[in-house]
Structure 1
Amino acid sequence: MITDTPSLRQRWLGAKLAELRLAAGIASLAVAAEACRRSTASLSRIENGLVGIPPRDIPPILDAYRVTDPAVRERLMVVAAEVQQERRGWWVEHGDVLAPSYMDRIRLEATATAIWTYETCLVPGLLQTEAYARAFVSALAEFGSVPELDEFVAVRMARKTILEGERPATMRAVISEAVLHHPIGGPDIFRDQLDHLRKIAASPNVSLQVVPFMDQPNPGLFGAFTLLRLPSLDVVHVEAMNTDAYIEDERGVEQYIDAFDRLCDIALTEQESTTLLAESAASL
């Protein structure tokens, strides 16, 4: 089933086109529509993110707005193409079960070239074993946050394919030491999860570091977040119990990039982190 809810990128593209129109000094949507040779209703729906637009339709609009910067034009063309691809992914068949905000997460992940994630209490979703994921998601189901347990777990496992194949995304994961003290699923499941983390951390496209308990303030105290780095834009994802928030403005994203770099600096090295994972597994 294809969800009718506009994706984050579709909304971003519409807002960007509206911004460029106003920057060109065209306050009237009707005047802009005439210059673009579109109907006013059509342009309004595009700007409000209600409909997508083929990449081939982007240049005439940018010409009408006198946008000549090659980088800007190319970026919008790329986003328009990505919006079209979003409606053909494997996740489409789950559109009637997953929340629109979670669908945005999956769509963005699918085209991300790099994923930087920080977790405070849980193993990052893309690095979870099925048993660990099921144990955690079962807890969410008790609060009504997961309508279909089996399907939700299957989706979580399907998301992991972006780290595999010929051109996998790169992933930098930083976790708080607190994660190692939350043996979700019990000793056996958690031991297998820790072993899985050590194995996947040996992959060339995955790095894993642990931030040890410390007595000094650090950016990790503000909570978990994931930075999705795409060819077209960078987006920060922050997950709550029953929704997902996204930060798209460049200044906001830059703050999270700085925070992540700081977390990497204060974390144990990859080798030290792997050793700690092994010690934690042995202690279960």
Structure 2
Amino acid sequence: MISDTPSLRQRWLGAKLAELRLAAGITSLAVAAEKCRRSTASLSRIENGLVGIPPRDIPPILDAYGVTDIGVRDKLMVVAAEVQQERRGWWVEHGDVLAPSYLDRIRLEATATAIWTYETSLVPGLLQTEAYARTFVSALAHFGSVAELDDFIAVRMERRAILVGPKPVVMRVVINEAALHHPIGGPEVFRDQLDHLSKVAESPHVTLQVLPFTGRPNPGLFGAFTLLRLPKLDVVHVETMNSDAYIEDERGVAQYVSAFDLLCDLALSPEETALLLAESASNL
């Protein structure tokens, strides 16, 4: 059974509608509800992100607030549709054992058109083998960050499905060279992990680069991050040991886009990266 905690996009949609109401000069929720022909309680729950709203109900609210910008209207309609889809994904059966913030990540990945990720000392979760993931996640379980290890690993493996199929997500990956010097799981497990990286990098929809050790300051020094490029709402994800943080404002996201582009410029080319992965595997 899925968690009742509102998803990130559901909360964003509610906050955006509240912002548009106030921008229209309607400070009273009761007045707004009358204009929208909804109950005050219903509109309050929508704005607080407690409930979703069908896409068909978005235009009447925007009409009531005098929102004519086609771009804004289209964006809210798309996000509303994505919120509806979130309750029908494969992750629903795991909702009672996963943190709400982690469920947000899975939901966002499932509808992303592109994922750009930078990792400092680990192989990104979407590119991990099961053995590598189990070794690493076991450490989190020791600190109580993972409630059910087997379920968590199963979810991590299922997440990889977005990389295959008729419409795989486009993925750009930059991994700090430090990750190649952390043979998590031991030589055999890590060799298999490096081989898996090499195979994934051969896919036309995946670009893999290694950021070599350098004395030059770069935005990667601030830590790992992932850019989730969605149809109408780009989000930055930052993972901690026991939670997930998200950046949604356009200015903040734009800063991470620029940072990622710079990391790609500083990193080895995909061809050079392939050679380095092969060399690292042979040295184990």
Give the TM bin, normalised by the shorter chain. Answer: over 0.9
Give the aligned partner of residue 71 of structure 1: 71
1:41 aligns with 2:41: yes
Report the 3-state secondary structure (helix = DSSP H, G, I; strand = E; otherwise coil) of the residue aligned with 1:51: coil
Query: How far apart are residue 268 of structure 1 and its match?
Result: 0.3
Give the aligned partner of residue 95 of structure 1: 95
Report the 3-state secondary structure (helix = DSSP H, G, I; strand = E; otherwise coil) of the residue aligned with 1:226: strand
Query: How far apart are residue 139 of structure 1 and its match?
Result: 1.1
* Greater CA drift, 66-75 or 254-263: 66-75
State how far apart, in whole Å, the 1-side matches of 2:79 and 2:20 are.
15
Report the 3-state secondary structure (helix = DSSP H, G, I; strand = E; otherwise coil) of the residue aligned with 1:209: strand
State how far apart, in whole Å, the 2-side matches of 1:83 and 1:216 are.
42
Give the aligned partner of residue 254 of structure 1: 254
State how far apart, in whole Å, the 1-side matches of 2:149 and 2:28 are.
49
Give the aligned partner of residue 114 of structure 1: 114
State how far apart, in whole Å, the 2-side matches of 1:148 and 1:112 are.
27
For 1:29, give the aligned amino acid.
Answer: L
1:60 aligns with 2:88: no
For 2:135, give the aligned amino acid.
Answer: A
Report the 3-state secondary structure (helix = DSSP H, G, I; strand = E; otherwise coil) of the residue aligned with 1:87: helix
TM-score by length of 2: 0.99
- Cα shift readout 1:160-218 (whole Å, capped 9, x = no counterpart): 00111001110000000000000000000000000110110000000100000011110
Give the aligned partner of residue 8 of structure 1: 8
- Cα shift readout 1:229-252 (whole Å, capped 9, x = no counterpart): 000210000000000000000000
Give the aligned partner of residue 161 of structure 1: 161
Structure 1's unaligned 5+ residue stretches are: none
The sequence identity of aligned pairs, in percent, is 81
Give the aligned partner of residue 81 of structure 1: 81
State how 1:182-221 maps to structure 2 within 5 Å. Answer: 182-221=182-221
- Cα shift readout 1:20-60 (whole Å, capped 9, x = no counterpart): 00111111111100000001111000000000000000000
Structure 1's consecutive aligned runs of 4 or more residues displaced over 6 angstroms after TM superposition are: none
1:269 aligns with 2:272: no
Query: How far apart are residue 70 of structure 1 and its match?
Result: 1.1
Report the 3-state secondary structure (helix = DSSP H, G, I; strand = E; otherwise coil) of the residue aligned with 2:88: coil
State how far apart, in whole Å, the 2-side matches of 1:12 and 1:69 are.
18
